[in-house]
Chain A
Amino acid sequence: MFALLKLIQSLVGALHSEGTPGQLAAGLVLGSFLGLTPLMNIHNAVILALLMLLNVSFAGGMLGWALFVPFGFLLDPLFDWMGHGLLLAPALRPLWTSLYNMPIVPLTNFNNTIVLGSFVFALVVAIPLFFVLRWAVARYRETVGARVRQSKFYQALTASKLYNVYRMFRP
């Protein structure tokens, strides 16, 4: 229940933040990496650092993470297939072999079919996802955003303590 409330707060808060649609979309895209790829990997530390350092919507990032986790689980067979195909492609073997025998790089677990498949998938969909989300956020704000902002539900939501925490990282 708490997680659901948090998710709704993140969603509403992010959609009505002062950030531009582009900032929110960028945050969502970075968050999608966290959700689509297995979490406990070094590349996700870099994603987290980018979410904090870049002037994108951090709440959007958290929201993207929460939204894309189910897709991650759902698409695991696809990621496995993609990763398998990429890692065992003869043409790419020299690349993987040199990466595998480099310092630090093997710690990313790129040689795992799920990790590589999901990362490549997230990378491929990142740009189209960014533009689609930016358009969607803009349309939302133009259409129903103002009415939602005046609703009691929104007023109650933004009055909660969690919203105050969120405001610390708003763009």
Chain B
Amino acid sequence: MTAPATARVKIFRWKAVGPLLVFFGIVGVLWILFADTIARHATQKVGTQVIGAKVEIAALHVDLPHGKVMIRGLTVASPHEAFRNLMQADELVADLDVVPLTEKKLIINRLAANGLRFGTPRETDGRVAAKSEGGDGVPSRVMAETREWASQFQVPVLQLATGKISIDSLDPRKLSTIPAAEALGARADSSQRAWKAAFDTLRVGPTLDSANATLEKLKHARATDLATLNEARQAIERLKRAQNRVTSFERGVKTGVASLQSGLAGLDSAKRRDYAFARSLVKLPTLDAPHVGAALFGPGAIRPFERVLYYTQLARRYMPPGLLPRASTGPARVRRAGEDVRFPKEHALPGFLLRSAELSFLLRPTADQPQRYAGHLTGLSSDPALYGRPMLAGATGPQLAAGAMVNHVHDIPVDTAGATLGGITFAAFQVPGVPLRLDPGAATTQLGFNLKGDTIHARFGLRSSNVRWVRDSGFASSAIGDLIWRAVSGISNLDVDARISGALHSPDFAVRSNLDQAIAQRLQAVLGEQVAAGEKQVRARVDSLVNDKVTPVRARVNELQTQAQAQIAQQHARIDELQKQLEQQLHNLTRGIRLP
């Protein structure tokens, strides 16, 4: 017997089974030991990514055998305000469906949230999306979009601090009259050259010279000099044709002149536009009551809409309608995150579903007797089309009625929310452009919001019967300030109503308040003359910049028109005169007899 030349190589390394089992055992033990910490960090990370603001959790316990997750000390920072929380919760207890976890699906059958508080202060800035606009995350993009959306509602700011009207410097490059005048001047020059060239091609001069020569010959001719008579007739025909050419040329000139005159009218329009532009540099709104309302409360009133729109757009990104695959930014890691693509499947569970939540929360937690409220939420799902029902939320209490429906079940998403909240004390705020502070006191607010597809209808109302006005020190020496102060200081009721309606990208925005009329009347009485003077000033400035260009062009066009018309009239007259002379001479010779 001979041994094989080479020993057969074993495929398995059985002695590694032990170390492998030990390795996986260690991993398992570490998971058990650190599962809560890992889950807490993961929840904080995902929550922060989803909301666009820091999510902090004091403690989290995962009890997989019983399908429970307990969270204590949840804090969600406000995505919009630096040192304010969106909400805090003492305790959250979630009952999970464990089996779908193997499909990486989170199904919460019931969630109990206790000790919810809203709008509490915080010590550090918890905003994430607001500080990283232009970032890759969904909240960053949505934040940038909603901010841009809100910025379109620029309302003029009242300039009442000193009672003076300020005028920004007028940049001649922004005036439309100057380039229009230059263009018209160039057109006039071009027309002049074209007309001169066209006039030269008429060749009227040689025709007239030839006709003159024929006339001279005719004067010395006899009636029997048939050749001369024929020559005279041909000269008359040539004159007629020349007359036709001049007439045709005249039509062209008339059209050109009309076009230049239209250009002059265009200069007038451009000048009116420049007046309007210059007037916009006068920092004072139109002194109508609606504009005053927009100037006073517009910047503040747009904020609730901006915030609701932010959350609505987030919901549309995270809860899109339909069952098509959807890509979203992948998890943050050292390497590129890539994109996670979700593949919803009919009759399967969604990736995330919160079937039912019961909420217990406090309003005015710092008051002596904080009020306790209860709310509910059902059907919060990442794939509404799979769940088949809209998300519903509601809360009621002594001075609270709120409800929301996020319906992304069908192709056109519909998001609706409404809330009435009474007895909320708002912080005093600075009225834009006016050195006045308004303390609304305990007010009742109402919010109605409906976004169907891309059509928005929303309303925000603020009512208070005990507002207080506070003067800033800079107001003391201002006569205007005194007048405004007298107009508003006696008013203790505040009723602000802001509405947005129309296509989401450019809706109509209107704000009115009970102060509008009172302030508008005072402004009109006092500032009317100053506004008129300011407008006169900017018109004079526009004139001084524009007239240097417009006047020569206007003169040039008029001169060109006069010259062209005079030249044409002269040619007509010369041709007519010569033709008449020829005809008369011919008639005298032939005595009216028509010769062949």
> Which residues of A does B touch, CB under 8 Å?
20, 23, 38, 40, 45, 48-49, 52-55, 72-73, 76-77, 79-80, 83-84, 87-88, 93, 96-104, 106-107, 109, 111-115, 117, 169, 171
> Are A107 and B327 in contact, with the CB atoms below 8 A?
no
Chain B interface, >50% SS class: loop
> Are A49 and B335 in contact, with the CB atoms below 8 A?
no
Output the least CB separation between A70 and chain B (Å).
Answer: 11
Closest A-B pairs by Cβ, 9 of them: A114-B338, A106-B104, A100-B343, A113-B338, A76-B336, A103-B102, A52-B16, A97-B343, A87-B341
> Are A103 and B103 in contact, with the CB atoms below 8 A?
yes
14 A–B contacts, CB within 8 A, in A order? A73-B335, A77-B336, A79-B336, A80-B336, A83-B339, A84-B327, A88-B327, A97-B343, A97-B344, A103-B103, A106-B105, A112-B341, A114-B337, A114-B338
Determine the chain A residues whose CB is within 8 A of the CB of B341 once the complex forms: 87-88, 96, 111-113
Q: Assuming A45-B24, A80-B338, A113-B341, what are 8 further A-B pairs, CB within 8 angstroms? A: A52-B16, A84-B339, A96-B341, A100-B342, A101-B103, A112-B330, A112-B339, A117-B338
- B30 beta carbon closer than 8 Å to chain A: no
Determine the chain B residues whose CB is within 8 A of the CB of A106 once the complex forms: 103-105
> Which residues of B does A touch, CB under 8 Å?
9-13, 16-17, 19-20, 23-24, 99, 102-105, 325, 327, 330-331, 333, 335-345, 348
Output the least CB separation between A139 and chain B (Å).
Answer: 20
Determine the chain A residues whose CB is within 8 A of the CB of B12 once the complex forms: 53-55
Determine the chain B residues whose CB is within 8 A of the CB of A171 once the complex forms: 13
B348 nearest in chain A by CB position: A101
Output the least CB separation between A137 and chain B (Å).
Answer: 15
Determine the chain A residues whose CB is within 8 A of the CB of B330 once the complex forms: 112-114
Determine the chain A residues whose CB is within 8 A of the CB of B16 once the complex forms: 52-53, 169
Output the least CB separation between A77 and chain B (Å).
Answer: 7
> Are A101 and B335 in contact, with the CB atoms below 8 A?
no
> Are A87 and B103 in contact, with the CB atoms below 8 A?
no
Output the least CB separation between A135 and chain B (Å).
Answer: 18
| Neighbour of B343 across the interface among A53, A55, A101, CB < 8 A | A101
Most buried by B among A40, A88, A112, A117: A112
Determine the chain A residues whose CB is within 8 A of the CB of B348 once the complex forms: 101
A97 nearest in chain B by CB position: B343
> Are B325 and A93 in contact, with the CB atoms below 8 A?
yes
Output the least CB separation between A60 and chain B (Å).
Answer: 13
B341 nearest in chain A by CB position: A87
> How many angstroms between the C-alpha atoms of A72 and B335 in the bound complex?
8
Output the least CB separation between A113 and chain B (Å).
Answer: 4
> Are A101 and B345 in contact, with the CB atoms below 8 A?
yes
B336 nearest in chain A by CB position: A76
Determine the chain B residues whose CB is within 8 A of the CB of A83 once the complex forms: 338-339
> Are B325 and A79 in contact, with the CB atoms below 8 A?
no
> How many angstroms between the C-alpha atoms of A18 and B16 in the bound complex?
18
> Are A54 and B20 in contact, with the CB atoms below 8 A?
no
> How many angstroms between the C-alpha atoms of A129 and B227 in the bound complex?
109
> Are A97 and B335 in contact, with the CB atoms below 8 A?
no
| Neighbour of A76 across the interface among B17, B20, B335, B339, CB < 8 A | B335
Determine the chain A residues whose CB is within 8 A of the CB of B331 once the complex forms: 112
Determine the chain A residues whose CB is within 8 A of the CB of B103 once the complex forms: 101-104, 106
Output the least CB separation between A107 and chain B (Å).
Answer: 6
Do A53 and B335 contact each other (CB < 8 Å), given the known contacts A98-B345, A107-B102, A112-B340? no
> Are B342 and A111 in contact, with the CB atoms below 8 A?
yes
Output the least CB separation between A136 and chain B (Å).
Answer: 20
> How many angstroms between the C-alpha atoms of A109 and B337 in the bound complex?
12
Determine the chain B residues whose CB is within 8 A of the CB of A48 once the complex forms: 23
Determine the chain B residues whose CB is within 8 A of the CB of A54 once the complex forms: 11-13
> Are A52 and B338 in contact, with the CB atoms below 8 A?
no
Do A100 and B335 contact each other (CB < 8 Å), given the known contacts A93-B325, A112-B340? no
> How many angstroms between the C-alpha atoms of A169 and B19 in the bound complex?
11
Determine the chain B residues whose CB is within 8 A of the CB of A109 once the complex forms: 340
> How many angstroms between the C-alpha atoms of A106 and B352 in the bound complex?
14
> How many angstroms between the C-alpha atoms of A171 and B16 in the bound complex?
11
Determine the chain A residues whose CB is within 8 A of the CB of B343 once the complex forms: 93, 96-97, 99-101, 111
Determine the chain B residues whose CB is within 8 A of the CB of A77 once the complex forms: 336
Output the least CB separation between A51 and chain B (Å).
Answer: 9
> How many angstroms between the C-alpha atoms of A86 and B10 in the bound complex?
37
Determine the chain A residues whose CB is within 8 A of the CB of B340 once the complex forms: 109, 111-113
> Are A88 and B338 in contact, with the CB atoms below 8 A?
no
Do A55 and B337 contact each other (CB < 8 Å), given the known contacts A101-B103, A102-B103, A113-B330? no
> Are A38 and B10 in contact, with the CB atoms below 8 A?
no
B13 nearest in chain A by CB position: A55
> Are A55 and B339 in contact, with the CB atoms below 8 A?
no
Determine the chain B residues whose CB is within 8 A of the CB of A88 once the complex forms: 325, 327, 341
> How many angstroms between the C-alpha atoms of A98 and B347 in the bound complex?
12
Output the least CB separation between B530 and chain A (Å).
Answer: 62
| Neighbour of B345 across the interface among A49, A53, A73, A97, CB < 8 A | A97
Determine the chain A residues whose CB is within 8 A of the CB of B13 once the complex forms: 52-55, 171
B18 nearest in chain A by CB position: A52
> How many angstroms between the C-alpha atoms of A103 and B336 in the bound complex?
26
Determine the chain B residues whose CB is within 8 A of the CB of A96 once the complex forms: 325, 341, 343
> How many angstroms between the C-alpha atoms of A45 and B20 in the bound complex?
10
> How many angstroms between the C-alpha atoms of A111 and B103 in the bound complex?
12
> How many angstroms between the C-alpha atoms of A80 and B325 in the bound complex?
17
> Are B333 and A38 in contact, with the CB atoms below 8 A?
yes
A95 nearest in chain B by CB position: B343
> Are B327 and A52 in contact, with the CB atoms below 8 A?
no
Determine the chain B residues whose CB is within 8 A of the CB of A40 once the complex forms: 333
| Neighbour of B338 across the interface among A45, A55, A79, A100, CB < 8 A | A79
> Are B104 and A107 in contact, with the CB atoms below 8 A?
yes
Determine the chain B residues whose CB is within 8 A of the CB of A111 once the complex forms: 340-343
